[in-house]
Every structure is written in structure tokens, then in C-alpha cells.
């Protein structure tokens, strides 16, 4: 049997776990199957790699030698795979557009515009609540462009050689049930919501801290916060069990009212990012950014409440393309 990288991963997993049983669990294999594979690996390498007893598995001298080489080879193979993916995506022209996005108003319009502008060019999408995950996929060469949001002036997730441009900056509004006692107001001081229960969708940025700081400035601590998916957030607001913060471009559904907060205590920036090592992404970035800004402008126009608010707050909204 020829030795393969997957065999070294098995040996490394057994050594790290300290037993075949624990390694099998981590690798998602049945313990008898892993034991049989380990025996075949040992036969191919000329001897036992582990001393196994009721206390676990300990490397033999031969096992220590194999592990020393595996700890060099496995990271090198992983780096090779990541570099190869990145290199494959450094052509001057992208063969298609691989887009990643957190929850926001731009992705749908961007896909619509790209597919209309460049018919036949494939466009794929990936969504996640984690801006860090999407940024890491771009760094690894698995996404060409990333759309995400950050609270106020907070930076995007730290990553080497990412290029970011701001598409637009919005105030954060609040969602109420249409039957809420404050639903007829034109705008609300955040302090008037001090006794409300809140519902939020998950995220890995600093928005929770920014929200807590804004509440503190308004003189209160949120009574309780339900963290859940977007559909459940909307349900809880609609039945009057909570209120929710939302992007000003949010498309209202039946039974809900979107309300500006006086003084815009919270802001949200929409960012488009790509990796500097991707020649194709760098070449396509001006076109993609222009389509993203147009999609964002469409989202602003669809939100009548936000469009009206912008008349007296022109410092918000779309950021002109440089």
C-alpha cells in the first residue's frame, strides 16, 4: 500500500487524541474501521506506530519519527492547496463571479445586474452571518468578492491583503409592530424604548457592543435580548413580543413599521471587499463596485421611509464611486 496524505492525517489524529477511539470520533469514522486502517498503515511503514493499551495510544520510536515528518508535511500540503486555489484565480479575467455576503440589501440586486450585464458568465453566491468566515474564504481564494457590514467606523475583519471600499452608510432604524403604541411617531428617541424586549439576528462583529453603548448613553440597559434567525425576529416583532433594530433599507413586510431613531445613534456601513492577490478580482472590481452601488441605490429608493429621512440627512446613503 502506498502511503498517502490521508494516512498521515490518521496517524496525527491518533497521536493528538491519545487513543484510537477518540481519534475515530474526531475523524467521523467507526472505531473498527480506523483500527483496520491504522494496521494497514503500520504494515506499509514496517512496524507499529503506537503502543496501545487500556490507557490509550502512545507513539513508538518509529511513530515519533513518522509524526515528526507528518507535522511538517501536513501544514505544507494545506498551504499548497490554498496557494493553488489562489493561483488558479489570478487570471486577468474572472471566469465567473463568486460572491459572498452577510445579511444585507445589496446581494440580490448585484446578482441581477451582473447576470444582465454579462450574460452567460456564471455567478454563484454564498451567505453567512459570519463576516470573518466570508473574509477568510476570500483570502483562501474561494470567493472573489465579499459584501458585509460594519458598525459605525469599525474596521472589517482583520485579514492580510484585503481591499475594501464603502458602498453606502445607513442609520440603524427600529422595527415595531403596526399596533405598537409608538407606531405613529415620525421618529423616536432610543430612551423611549427602554422598557422593550429586543430581538436580534446573530453576527460576529461589534454591533452588540455598539448597541449596548448606545443604550447606556440613552440611560438604560436592554431588559432582554432574543438572539435568533431573521424570520423569528420578524415574527416576534409582528406579534408585539419584541422590537428589533434594522437596516434602513429593510423591505417592510405586512404588520411592521420602520421607525428612525433621533440623532442616528447607530450607523451601518456596507462594504465590498476582494483580495489583492487576485488579479482577476482587482481588474473586475470597478465594474462590480459600480453594480453594487447601483443595487444599493435601488434598495434605498424602495424604502420610502429612508428616502424621506435622507432629504434632511444627506450625509448618509450612497458613497460616490472614486
What pLDDT, on a 0 to 100 scale, did the predictor assign at position 142? 92
What pLDDT, on a 0 to 100 scale, did the predictor assign at position 145? 97
DSSP type of residue 36 = H
CA distance linking residue 7 with residue 78, whole number of Å: 15
Is 80 exceeded by the pLDDT of residue 307? yes
- How is 145-172 classified by DSSP, letter by letter? EEEEEEETT------TTEEEEEEEEEEE
What pLDDT, on a 0 to 100 scale, did the predictor assign at position 179? 95
Is 70 exceeded by the pLDDT of residue 99? yes
**In the predicted model, what is the mean pLDDT of residues 85-92?**
59
Please count the helices (runs of H) and the strands (runs of E) in the chain.
10, 12
What pLDDT, on a 0 to 100 scale, did the predictor assign at position 45? 92
Query: How high is the mean pLDDT of the chain?
Result: 90
What pLDDT, on a 0 to 100 scale, did the predictor assign at position 154? 87
What pLDDT, on a 0 to 100 scale, did the predictor assign at position 321? 64
**In the predicted model, what is the mean pLDDT of residues 246-264?**
92
The answer to whether residues 141 and 88 touch, using CB atoms and an 8 Å cutoff, is yes
Q: Nearest to residue 300, comparing CAs of 104, 100, 101? A: 104
What pLDDT, on a 0 to 100 scale, did the predictor assign at position 170? 94
pLDDT in tens, 166-183: 999 999 999 999 999 999
What pLDDT, on a 0 to 100 scale, did the predictor assign at position 57? 92
Among 83-92, 198-207, 297-306, which range has the highest average pLDDT?
297-306
Cell numbers for 264, please give them: 442616528
Is 60 exceeded by the pLDDT of residue 64? yes
Pairing between β-strand 123-127 and β-strand 198-200 as defined by DSSP bridges = unpaired
Is 80 exceeded by the pLDDT of residue 2? yes
Q: Nearest to residue 306, comparing CAs of 113, 168, 207? A: 168
**In the predicted model, what is the mean pLDDT of residues 51-78?**
92
What pLDDT, on a 0 to 100 scale, did the predictor assign at position 159? 83
Looking from the CA of 292 toward its CB, the CA atoms found within 13 Å total 27
What pLDDT, on a 0 to 100 scale, did the predictor assign at position 90? 52
CA-to-CA separations, 54 to 26, 57, 61, in angstroms, rounded: 19, 8, 20
Is 90 exceeded by the pLDDT of residue 94? no
What pLDDT, on a 0 to 100 scale, did the predictor assign at position 79? 82
What pLDDT, on a 0 to 100 scale, did the predictor assign at position 322? 60
Q: 41-45, 140-144, 225-229 — which is least confidently predicted?
A: 225-229
**In the predicted model, what is the mean pLDDT of residues 143-156?**
91
Is 80 exceeded by the pLDDT of residue 236? yes
Higher pLDDT: 88 or 249? It is: 249
What pLDDT, on a 0 to 100 scale, did the predictor assign at position 88? 62
Is 60 exceeded by the pLDDT of residue 241? yes
Is 80 exceeded by the pLDDT of residue 320? no
Amino acid at each position: 500500500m502506498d502511503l498517502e496524505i490521508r494516512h498521515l492525517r490518521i496517524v496525527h489524529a491518533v497521536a493528538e487524541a491519545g487513543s484510537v477511539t477518540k481519534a475515530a470520533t474526531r475523524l467521523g469514522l467507526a472505531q473498527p474501521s480506523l483500527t483496520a486502517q491504522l494496521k494497514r498503515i503500520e504494515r506499509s511503514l514496517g512496524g507499529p506506530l503506537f503502543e496501545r493499551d487500556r490507557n490509550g495510544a502512545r507513539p513508538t520510536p518509529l511513530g515519533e519519527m513518522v509524526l515528526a515528518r507528518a507535522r511538517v508535511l501536513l501544514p505544507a500540503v494545506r498551504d499548497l492547496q490554498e496557494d493553488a486555489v489562489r493561483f488558479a484565480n489570478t487570471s486577468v479575467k474572472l471566469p465567473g463571479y463568486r460572491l459572498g455576503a452577510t445579511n444585507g440589501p445589496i446581494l440580490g440586486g448585484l446578482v441581477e445586474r451582473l447576470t444582465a450585464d454579462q450574460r452567460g458568465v456564471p455567478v454563484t453566491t454564498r451567505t453567512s452571518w459570519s463576516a470573518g468566515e466570508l473574509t477568510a474564504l476570500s483570502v483562501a481564494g474561494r470567493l472573489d468578492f465579499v459584501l458585509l457590514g460594519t458598525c459605525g467606523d469599525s474596521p472589517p475583519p482583520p485579514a492580510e491583503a484585503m481591499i475594501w471600499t464603502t458602498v453606502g452608510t445607513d442609520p440603524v432604524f427600529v422595527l415595531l409592530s403596526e399596533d405598537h403604541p409608538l407606531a405613529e411617531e415620525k421618529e423616536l428617541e432610543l430612551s423611549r424604548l427602554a422598557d422593550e424586549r429586543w430581538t436580534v439576528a446573530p453576527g460576529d462583529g461589534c454591533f452588540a457592543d455598539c448597541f449596548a453603548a448606545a443604550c447606556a448613553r440613552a440611560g438604560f440597559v436592554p431588559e432582554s435580548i432574543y438572539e435568533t434567525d431573521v424570520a423569528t425576529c420578524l415574527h416576534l416583532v409582528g406579534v408585539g413580543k419584541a422590537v428589533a433594530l434594522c437596516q434602513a433599507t429593510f423591505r417592510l413586510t405586512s404588520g411592521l413599521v420602520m421607525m428612525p431613531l433621533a440623532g442616528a445613534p447607530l450607523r451601518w456601513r456596507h462594504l465590498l471587499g476582494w483580495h489583492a492577490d487576485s488579479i482577476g478580482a482587482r481588474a473586475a472590481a470597478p465594474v462590480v463596485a459600480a453594480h453594487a452601488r447601483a443595487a444599493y441605490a435601488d434598495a434605498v429608493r424602495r424604502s420610502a421611509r429612508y428616502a424621506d429621512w435622507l432629504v434632511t440627512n444627506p450625509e448618509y446613503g450612497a458613497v460616490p464611486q472614486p
